[in-house]
A and B are shown apart, each in its own frame.
Chain A
């Protein structure tokens, strides 16, 4: 049975509409805009072979937090599974929780709780794999809480801090 599947460009814009149906040895995926007709064979979790009229491609797919990331020939393509709803537009969400991207250690805090911060501003210095990296604020707002302290060892995806939007 054919199934209409919507994919949303990560930077906004019109959704892509792709029709997926079962086919021998895999699935057929087709679309009118852009116009393509592809055969997709799954070879294991996240591993696919895609064959179109233009060529044969080896692809890996990762799905995480509502995002689908596709790697082809060392280039990444990213889509959202759902459209971001209008009242939580990414630029000024009421509350943005920032988590550790990987296990590591907090080296230094670069902003104080209660401080006004802007998108991209460094909030803390995080050491992982012997390298120090700034963890930045995803949006303008106020640093409303800090869940970690200097010297603390952190697991991947552990909460680091919360930014409250200017509008809230």
Chain B
């Protein structure tokens, strides 16, 4: 096992990786930009190295700076977390060439899975169902011919794409030529590669993914599924396991498909095979993510496995300590992604200082957070600030605990997605798991966000009482007590208010 690991990331995932390293007695090295000197991950690691100014293109995305930090500190391995350089094959190669272990798959496996067309061929070779589609198509005439075989609606998708860029939904043949050209030029502009494919559009699908782990000795095991159908514009908001949509038979077929794909690709370390599942329970390979996922804690809570520990073990050459038959779910778990975005204003990002923070606690609660009271949420990085992960005996208990925890969780100073969860966790359709990946886009802003406040009369009275006291007592208004004022002065203020 390694003695020292550099964590090439920031925020909650850097903190989460550092925790397991300490559990294992491994020294950790944080890297930080100028915007992150005060951030939690710097304090949670044993050593810390500045790697550049605030923009990630000049810090967290600069491979040379991170490798130099590893060399300077004598780290033996690099954990990339997710995002930034985590799926950058060149970075993985440079790390290995520098004589360090990259905690993740080989650069070849990353390149393979990063190319949608090649990943699809690999899936077909492994007999994993894929969405009916075409190889890359060059011109609109060829696209029209190929579209006949697939049928409408269909998607035009950039092979190098992601995040919805270079993607168009085509409803009928007449719209195809125009949208085909748009997707190609957007793909060229976004990825420097105009290649696009056509794909059947699966209506009302669910997103269900399988966690796999593979060692360097040819063993591949899946760690069950996560359902991630609560998404907004392809960004996941809630993930849970197990999926109440799967029965044992389908779970075992999908798990076997994920394992078969990873084996065919000679994949190593932790990865995730994503599937779309249609209402008739047909599943289709979507893509493979070659990294630790944001939502990995859900899997940890239902399997009892520390995935970061397992990643470190695998990277240092150990065999998987279990076989497929050992993997049985224990209860249920759900993750809520707390981002600094205002759900009532179409999730517009919200920056600022965390003026007050009190995380939810108690039975079944786990917090993976990158913030503390006083943290600045800056526009430079991803708005994910914390994850609230809830475990219980079954989904019903998890839902009850999640509602309680969301109510208990207090964050002041930035808008967050907590109010979204508050309403979502009470929605009958979500409670019945009668949803699909477009549910939030179809129902949130137009319906759920504008629905009347439950218990409005009761809460209005409380709001009026609080607002009136705030207005009548200037010294206790927000910012009325300067952060730098001494305790004595503060006591003096409270004395004047009769609030001792």
Contacts and interface: CB of A to CB of B under 8 A. Distances in A.
Nearest to B380: A129
B418 A70 contact: no
A133 B348 contact: yes
A20 interface: yes
A102 to B, nearest CB: 4
Contact of A129 (B340, B457, B472): B340
Given A48-B466, A72-B462, A133 B349 contact: yes
A52 B453 contact: no
A119 to B, nearest CB: 16
A149 B131 CA distance: 44
B438 to A, nearest CB: 20
B466 A40 contact: yes
A58 B358 CA distance: 12
B38 interface: no
A81 B462 CA distance: 17
Given A77-B460, A103-B351, A38 B471 contact: no
A38 B419 CA distance: 25
A20 B478 contact: no
A160 B14 CA distance: 36
Contacts of A59: 462-463, 466
A7 B422 CA distance: 27
B24 interface: no
A42 B344 contact: no
Contacts of A61: 466-467, 470, 477-478
Interface stretch (B104-112, B177-185, B326-334, B404-412): B404-412
A31 B470 CA distance: 15
A22 interface: yes
Max chain A Cβ within 10 angstroms of own Cβ: one of B419, B460, B467, B480: B467
Contact of A5 (B344, B468, B498): B468
Dominant SS among interface residues on chain A: strand
Contact of B469 (A42, A62, A73): A42
A72 B407 CA distance: 9
Dominant SS among interface residues on chain B: mixed
Interface in A3-31: 3, 5, 7, 16, 18, 20, 22-27, 29, 31
Contacts of A54: 458, 461
Contacts of B476: 42, 45
Max chain A Cβ within 10 angstroms of own Cβ: one of B406, B463, B472: B463
Q: Report the interface size class on chain A.
A: 35 or more
Nearest to B409: A74
A74 to B, nearest CB: 4
B356 A46 contact: yes
A147 interface: no
B473 interface: yes
B73 interface: no
A7 B464 contact: yes
Contacts of A81: 471
B463 A70 contact: yes
Contact of A79 (B347, B382, B461, B467): B467
B350 interface: yes
Contact of A27 (B349, B462, B469, B500): B469
B471 A5 contact: yes
A102 B458 contact: no
B406 A74 contact: yes
B355 A34 contact: no
A129 B233 CA distance: 16
Contact of A52 (B383, B461, B467, B478): B461
Interface string A124-137: 00011111010000
Contacts of A16: 464
Interface string A48-62: 101010110111111
Contacts of B418: 74
Contacts of B74: none
B279 interface: no
B499 interface: yes
Contacts of A3: 472
B466 A75 contact: no
A103 B353 CA distance: 12
A16 B379 CA distance: 38
Contacts of A50: 462, 465-466
B381 interface: yes
Nearest to A133: B348
Contacts of B462: 38, 50, 52, 57, 59, 70, 72
Given A20-B473, A40-B469, A70-B463, A129 B382 contact: yes
Contact of B468 (A20, A47, A52, A102): A20
B481 interface: yes
B68 interface: no
A26 B499 contact: yes
B1 interface: no
A36 to B, nearest CB: 4
Given A70-B467, A130-B382, A156-B351, A60 B410 contact: yes
A104 interface: yes
Given A74-B406, A74-B422, A130-B381, A63 B478 contact: yes
Given A18-B467, A23-B498, A48-B469, 7 more contacts: A20-B469, A25-B499, A45-B478, A54-B461, A77-B463, A129-B340, A131-B349
Name the 6 nearest CB pairs between A and B, nearest first. A18-B468, A77-B463, A38-B465, A129-B349, A102-B351, A29-B465
Interface of A: 3, 5, 7, 16, 18, 20, 22-27, 29, 31, 34, 36, 38, 40-42, 44-48, 50, 52, 54-55, 57-64, 68, 70-77, 79, 81, 101-104, 127-131, 133, 156
Interface of B: 340-341, 344, 347-352, 355-356, 377-383, 406-407, 410, 412, 418-419, 421-422, 453-454, 457-473, 476-481, 497-500
12 contacts: A26-B498, A26-B499, A40-B466, A44-B481, A46-B355, A57-B459, A63-B477, A70-B462, A79-B463, A81-B471, A130-B382, A156-B351
